[in-house]
A and B are shown apart, each in its own frame.
Chain A
Amino acid sequence: MSPLLQTIIITVVVLLVLMTIAANLIWVERRMLALWQDRLGPNRVGPLGLVQVVADMVKIFFKEDWIPKFADRPVFFIAPTIVIITVLMSFAVIPFAPGISVVNLNVGLLFFLAMSSLGVYSVVLGGWSSNNKYSLLGSLRAAAQMISYEVFMGLSLMGVVILAGSFNLNDIVEAQGRITWFFIPQILGFFVFFLAGIAETHRLPFDLPEAESELISGFHSEYSGMKFGMFFVGEYLGITLISSMIVTLFFGGWLGPSFLPPVVWFLLKMAVFILIFVLLRAALPRPRYDQLMSYGWKFLLPLSLLNLVVTGLVVLLLK
């Protein structure tokens, strides 16, 4: 088989699996939220409400999708595609099992960071081009929040890089097999990365850019139909991405006892973190915007710097 054809097949499979996971996450989230809030949740369409996702997709497909007259048309169209494409691109470097990843990139970690930074554009362009006051405010908030949390998102991963001595995600997972899962030596790094990940995907409790009660879903209030669907699925893809990065970098990726195949271990660990994301949404109230910003700059940034120094010192002393 030619390498091009092989790449195309792997890519298509990964894309289809990811879209299925992201779409079904909508059902998972609604059911779990209902469970934790003592409600029933969607349970009418199909067994346990499982076909709800299909119904939602059909509805979104048939929705009238107007581009407002006043909006900047090309930019308005590009914004939701950016969010999906950048998140999907990040999945290209994640090793799902030994040998199973779209690419085995030697700068995989940097690639992930670059792609997650590009995600800011979708929010900024979307909010700016909709010509709406709420959208503009929401996108400004989102931009400030995402660039602030991006600084120490990268910084918190440098401890992992020091321990593994590589940017390649395959090497990082294998190093965890040799040393130990990195959440033990890098507990601070894990903590900072997890919180930065929540802020980057602007999920609750850090969903200030969308805050329904004050900004009417912020940067995408003017979006409808399939373009809104793109933002919606993009959010769940983002959750999947952050969960799989946490698993890859801190919880040993595909590693696990051999009675289950590696891919299953990876998916199981990922599912745990996705559920934690949903639980956070069910459990925590939303902070104020200034609290969010000062928490990032004054607590998490010094913490990640401290983590880097301590990791360097310990590695030096143990050598």
Chain B
Amino acid sequence: MAVLVIAEQGAGSLKPATLNAVTAAAKLGDVHVLVAGAGIGAAVEAAKAIAGVSKVLSADSADYAHGLAEALTPLVVSVAKGYDAVVASATTFGKNLLPRVAALLDVQQISEVVAIENADTFVRPIYAGNALATVKSADTIKVMTVRATAFDAAPAIGGSASVEAVAVIAGSGKSAFVGQELSKSERPELTAARIVISGGRGMQNGENFQLLEAVADKLGAAVGASRAAVDAGFVPNDYQVGQTGKIVAPDLYIAVGISGAIQHLAGMKDSKVIVAINKDEEAPIFQIADYGLVADLFKAVPELKEELDRSA
């Protein structure tokens, strides 16, 4: 079996979630990686070096510069036809692109796969992760997005794949990139961080997130948020952890001023250790927290920072 992984790249590098997708794909067969974009030299080199990848297909074109689904779909559909399975990471890039590809292949995509039982049987969460469905696909090409937290990252070095350029196919041109506003942060990426500290409505405003940032910097952690905190404008949308935001599974997740709605839990309940700081001892978050601290966050979080300073 040969499996095509759709790499995610940008700003001259390969996105880390591609490594998790490679691990998932390797369970299905021989892994080839498609890197499509504009000026993708470094990303192709990175893909070549991933352990377990046997071939890299490169498609370099200005048309692919912004990773638009309309531009990439004809290329991916054409390349995919030679494969038994097509895999992308369940990032906003993968979620946007892959169903468009699947529809043209006349395939029912399998979203957010968390386990691969065999060549046609997969496990995926439904109902905000309150249930796990084991599904068997009858399609000849299996098309799936995979959840990064469910598969380890493949080693970024050690591989020596061959590289083949594939012919560029023009997209529809019915959509155009206008601009982007990316959040800048020196902190680790939310979905890849070993420690995450998230704030909820209890933070009261955006400035108070500095309390969490101080702790995050001490621990080398990423900062996340509940939907309520994002909706209220405390922090940007890409901080949202949950059913419809980002899925994280760090070694340590610290939830501050977050009640623990199922939609939030869906995004973090696979964390190894969960800490909750909440002034309401009845808050549902305590039902899943390994360590719960009933306290006012405005007292507890500064204390936490001091305690870490002291005992470091």
Q: Do A and B bind each other?
A: no
Q: Which residues of A contact B (CB under 8 A)?
A: none
Q: Which residues of B contact A (CB under 8 A)?
A: none
